[in-house]
Amino acid sequence: MKPSPYFKDCFRYFFKRFSGKESLFRWFLQKAGEDSGAFDFPAALKGNPKTLLFLARDMEQSAAFMHAMPDAFFNNALLCAHESLQAVVSAKRAKALYYSDLECRYDEPAFIELEQKIKDFAPQVCIYLGEAFLPRLYLAKVSGAPCRIGFVSENCFPFLNLSLHPDKSSEAALIREYYEVK
């Protein structure tokens, strides 16, 4: 059995590193808190609210999203991205928090700092791109954003409480439509 990449290397999390997927999901949910505030969709997205954007680890998917979004979107956004995406993010001159693979593990000092910066930002909306990764989903939930959007992410509820399905358009086109930014 392969150990989970979700936790820092220490004895405290030794047994958690070998827990099953459902057990880890429940554990992270318990740590994040199960309650979620109410929000009015799509009105919550009008006027380009403070947005926390978790970029996908995949360079192509993140670059496509970034290039499709207008510059005005990034005026009120904080991006959370893997360090390999620095060039893509800097091209848009967006504010970002970067992490490495080792830093995005629960209870690492860098993870705790990342969590605090996200809470201090106090986003109104959180957008999550890419595959589900429990520590990042945990950060999305504890961000305090009442509206947490994922794409085809029903299995991530309640970490993400809104799942959009971009049938004919891209994720960026769908978000642009709701945000009404040009």
pLDDT of 38: 64
Q: Tell the residue number behind the tokens 């970034």, with chain if given.
A: 66
> pLDDT at position 39, please?
65
What's the pLDDT at 167?
77
Instruction: Report which DSSP code applies to 133.
Output: -
With beta carbons less than 8 A apart as the criterion, state whether 17 and 7 touch: yes
Which of 132-141, 150-159, 170-179 bottoms out in mean pLDDT, i.e. has the lowest? 170-179
Count the neighbouring beta carbons within 10 Å of the beta carbon of residue 33.
10
Structural domain that includes position 165: 40-179
pLDDT at 182: 61
Does 9 map to a domain?
no
Find all residues with CB under 8 Å of 124, minimum gap 6, and list them. 44, 49, 50, 51, 145, 146, 147
Pair of tokens at residue 28: 């992270």
Query: CA-to-CA distance for 87 and 77, rounded, in angstroms?
Result: 17
Report d(CA 182, CA 174) in Å as an integer: 13
Domain for residue 25, yes or no?
Answer: no
> Tell me, what CATH number does 112's domain have?
3.40.50.2000
Q: Where are the beta strands (DSSP E) in the chain?
A: 51-54, 77-82, 95-99, 125-128, 147-151, 162-164
Residue 16 domain flag: no
Percent of the chain predicted with pLDDT > 70: 91
> Is residue 148 included in any domain, yes or no?
yes
pLDDT at 25 over 70: yes
Q: How many domains does the chain have?
A: 1
Q: Averaged over 14-30, what is the pLDDT? A: 79
Query: Do the domain assignments include residue 18?
Result: no
In tens, the pLDDT along 83-132 reads 999 999 988 888 999 999 888 888 899 999 999 999 999 999 999 999 99
Residue 94 domain-assigned (yes or no): yes
pLDDT beyond 70 at 3:
no
DSSP 96: E
Is 86 contained in some domain?
yes
Confidence band of 37 (pLDDT split at 50, 70, 90): low
pLDDT at position 4 is 64
pLDDT the model gives residue 83 = 94
In a domain, 122, yes or no: yes
